[in-house]
Amino acid sequence: MRVITPSVELKRQWTARVELARRHPWWFLLFFVWTCDQHDLVDPIKPTPALRPHIKVMSELWHDNPRLVVVKSRQMLMTWTFVALYLWDALFHQGRLIMFQSKREEDAIGDEVSGDGLLGRAKFILSHMPGRQFVIPEYDEAKHKQGRKILFPWNNSTIWAIPQGAAIIRQRTASGILSDESAFQPSAGDAYVAARPCIRGGGRYTALTTADMADGGHTRALYEDTLDQGDYERSGTRTD
Amino acid sequence: MSVAAPELIDAPVAGPVERKITAPEVIIPANDIDVGLTATLNTNGFVAVTLGMGADPITFTREVVESERRGLPAWRFRKEYLRDWDAQSGAPVFDTEWVERQRKYCCDPVWRYDVEPEIGDDGNPVLWRSSGLPKLKLVPSQGGRLKVFISPDWQPPEIPAGSMSVRVAFAMGIDVGEGVGASDSTIQVFVGSTREQAAVFKDNRIQPAELGRIAACIARWYNDALICPMRKMHGITTLRAMLEVGYTRIWRHHQPGGLIEVAAQDLGWKKGEATDDVLFGRWIDAMQFDRVTLHDLETVQQHSQYIYDDMGRVCHQKLKLLPVTARYQHGDLVVGAAAAYRACMDLPRYRQTTPFTIPADSFEGIRRHADRMDARRAHTEEDW
Helices in chain A by DSSP H: which ranges? 6-23, 25-32, 53-64, 78-92, 105-109, 118-127, 132-135, 141-144, 167-171, 188-200, 218-224
d(CA A204, CA A67): 6
CB A65 within 8 A of CB B19: yes
Cα–Cα distance between B355 and B361 in angstroms, integer? Answer: 18
* ipTM, interface predicted TM-score of the complex: 0.91
SS3 A161: strand
* Structure confidence by residue, pLDDT tens digits, B186-245: 999 999 999 999 999 999 889 999 999 999 999 999 999 999 998 777 788 898 899 888
Please give, one letter per residue, the 3-state secondary structure of B349-383.
Answer: HCCCCCCCCCCCCCHHHHHHHHHHHHHHHHHHHHH
| Residue among B9, B28, B59 whose CB faces A20 most closely | B9
What percent of chain A clears pLDDT 90, i.e. is strictly above it? 65
Element (H, E) at B65: helix B62-71
* Residue contact A52–B80, C-beta within 8 A: no
The pLDDT score that the predictor gives to residue B264 is: 62
Query: Contact B254/B263 with Cβ under 8 angstroms?
Result: no
The total number of residues written for chain B in this structure? 384
Contact B333, B296 (CB under 8 A): yes
Looking only at the bridges linking them, the beta strands covering B306-308 and B314-316 are antiparallel
With CB atoms and an 8 Å threshold, state whether B56 touches A52. Answer: yes
Q: Do B58 and A52 touch (CB under 8 A)?
A: yes
For A160-203, how does the pLDDT look when each residue is reduced to its tens digit (9 = 90+)?
999 999 999 998 889 999 999 999 998 999 999 999 988 888 89
Q: What is the pLDDT of residues B92-130, one digit of tens each?
A: 888 888 999 999 999 999 999 999 998 988 888 888 877
CA gap B238, B187 in Å, rounded: 12
Please report the DSSP string for B307-329 in residue order: EE-TTS-EEE---TTS-HHHHTT
User: Which chain B residue is nearest to residue A184, measuring alpha carbons?
Assistant: B312
Q: Are residues A24 and B15, on separate chains, in Cβ contact within 8 Å?
A: yes
B contact residues 132-151, partner A, Cβ 8 Å cutoff: none
For residue B233, the chain A residue with the least C-alpha distance is A240
Coil, strand or helix: which one is B39? strand
Query: What fold is seen in the domain B96-108+166-350?
Result: Nucleotidyltransferase; domain 5 (3.30.420)
Quick check: B15 contacting A, CB < 8 Å?
yes
pTM confidence score: 0.65
Does B334 touch chain A if contact means CB atoms closer than 8 Å?
no
Chain A residues closer than 8 Å to B271 by CB: none
CA–CA separation, A28 vs A16, rounded Å?
12
Does B71 contact A at CB distance below 8 Å? Answer: no
Q: How far is A65 from chain B (nearest CA, A)?
A: 6
pLDDT score recorded for residue B344:
92
CA distance A194 to A188: 10
Q: What is the predicted pLDDT for the residue at B54?
A: 93
Q: Which helix (H) or strand (E) holds B80?
A: helix B74-80
Query: In this complex, is the C-beta atom of A11 within 8 Å of any C-beta atom belonging to chain B?
Result: no
Q: How far is CA B21 from CA A199, A200, B3, B24, B42, in A?
A: 17, 18, 18, 7, 10
Of A31, A56, A70, the CB nearest to B51: A70
| CB pair distance less than 8 Å for B51 and A51 | no
pLDDT by residue for chain B (384 residues), tens digit each?
444 444 445 556 788 999 999 999 999 999 999 999 999 999 999 999 999 999 999 999 999 999 988 888 777 888 889 998 888 777 788 888 899 999 999 999 999 999 999 898 888 888 887 778 888 999 999 889 999 999 999 988 888 877 777 889 999 999 888 777 778 899 999 999 999 999 999 998 899 999 999 999 999 999 999 999 987 777 888 988 998 888 888 888 765 555 454 556 677 777 666 556 677 888 988 998 889 999 999 899 888 888 776 666 666 655 444 444 454 555 688 889 999 999 998 888 877 655 567 777 788 788 888 888 888 887 776 665
Instruction: Using an 8 Å CB-CB cutoff, list chain B residues near A71.
Output: 48-51, 83
Query: Closest partner residue to B312 among A12, A23, A213, by Cβ?
Result: A213
**Nearest chain A Cα to B84, which residue?**
A211
Report CB contact under 8 Å: A211, B87: yes
Best to test chain A binding among B79, B311, B313, B316 (most A CBs inside 10 Å): B311
Answer whether B328's CB lies under 8 Å from B300's CB.
no
Residues 245-274 of B with CB under 8 A from A: 272-274
Are A213 and B15 within 8 A, CB to CB? no
Residue B11 to residues A27, A51, A58, B58, B178, Cα–Cα distance (Å): 10, 11, 20, 21, 73
**Residue A78 in 3-state DSSP?**
helix
Q: Domain limits of chain B?
A: 25-80, 96-108+166-350
Contacts of B52 in chain A (CB under 8 A): 72-73
Q: Do A65 and B275 touch (CB under 8 A)?
A: no
Given CB atoms, is B47 within the 8 Å cutoff of chain A? yes
Amino acid at residue number B134: P
Identify the CA nearest to B60 among candidates A48, A71, A52, A75.
A75
